[in-house]
Each structure stands twice: as structure tokens, then as C-alpha cells.
Amino acid sequence: MTKDKTTARDAAKTSEPFASDLLRGHTDTIVLAVLRSHDRYGYEIYKVIRDATGGEHEIKEATLYATFRRLEKDGLVEAYWGDETQGGRRKYYRITDAGRAVFRRAVADWTATQRIIDTLLNLKGNPS
């Protein structure tokens, strides 16, 4: 029954830091971006994203691991266990060629999204 999710409206009322849903749909792309240069393990990706924004934005762990599973299922990343024999097992993720293709497409989509929203928000209501 309790509702804790921060919406844009809630944010306006309560000065919440950020409405998380605004990044919705971009999480996959962000993960692929982080994996472009080299393989990383899950928790590392979590930290990279958190730190890259100066702690301003954080993708929740649950969200991230769900994203990994989705990306893996779709063949955009491949997962393998690291050889940390002593404790703290780590699952590494590697971006596939398909993943890189999707990433390129997603960047184009992101650019289009920016253009569309910017256009709509700047609508002054031309006095036709």
C-alpha cells in the first residue's frame, strides 16, 4: 500500500533530488556504454555509474542486475565468472557485437529524444 517511488511531481513538492523514471529506458544503454571499453563485473558497473555522476544519480542494484539478465538473455552481453578462487565471486560482463550495434542505435535514439523533448518544451504556442 505504501508508495515510495519518487515521481516528477513528488520531486517538485518535496525537493527530492531526482525523479528516477526520467532515465527509464536508458539503463540498458548506459550499461552497454560502460562495457564498451572493457569487461566489468556487476558491482563495479554499479559503482562506475554512481561515481560518474558524482553520486548524483544511482541506478539501484536490483535494477542493474535485472538489466544484466535482460541484456544477457538478448545476447547483447555475455557473462562469465571470474577466477577469484578466494571469496567474493564476481560475474563479469562482456559486450557482444550485437550489443555494440544496439548501443550505436540507442545513441541515435537518445539524440532524437533530446531533440524531440527540447522542441516540445520550447513550444511557445505560436499565435496562428
- The minimum distance between CB 53 and its own copies, in angstroms, equals 5
Pick out residues in 16-55 that bind its own copies (CB under 8 A): 18-19, 21-26, 28-30, 33-34, 36-38, 48-49, 52-53
Q: Which is nearer to its own copies, 80 or 110 (CB)?
A: 110
Q: Which is nearer to its own copies, 89 or 101 (CB)?
A: 101
State how far the Cα of 11 lies from the Cα of 58, in Å rounded to an integer: 16
Q: Which of 74, 80, 81, 94 binds its own copies (CB under 8 A)?
A: 74
Pick out residues in 54-73 that bind its own copies (CB under 8 A): 56-57
User: What cell was used for 45?
Assistant: 558497473
- The minimum distance between CB 70 and its own copies, in angstroms, equals 9
DSSP 56-90: S----HHHHHHHHHHHHHTTSEEEEE----SSS--
- The minimum distance between CB 83 and DNA, in angstroms, equals 12
DSSP tally for the chain: helices H, then strands E: 5, 3
Total chain residues near its own copies (CB under 8 A) = 47
The site partner of 86 among DNA, its own copies, none (C-beta below 5 to 8 Å per kind) is: DNA
- Ramachandran bin of 15, using left for φ above 0, alpha for ψ from -120 to 50, beta for the remaining angles: left
Using CB under 8 A as the binding rule, whether residue 125 contacts its own copies is answered as: yes
Q: Which is nearer to its own copies, 37 or 85 (CB)?
A: 37
Q: How many CA atoms lie within 13 A of 25 on its CB side?
A: 7
Nearest-Å Rg of the Cα atoms of the chain is 18
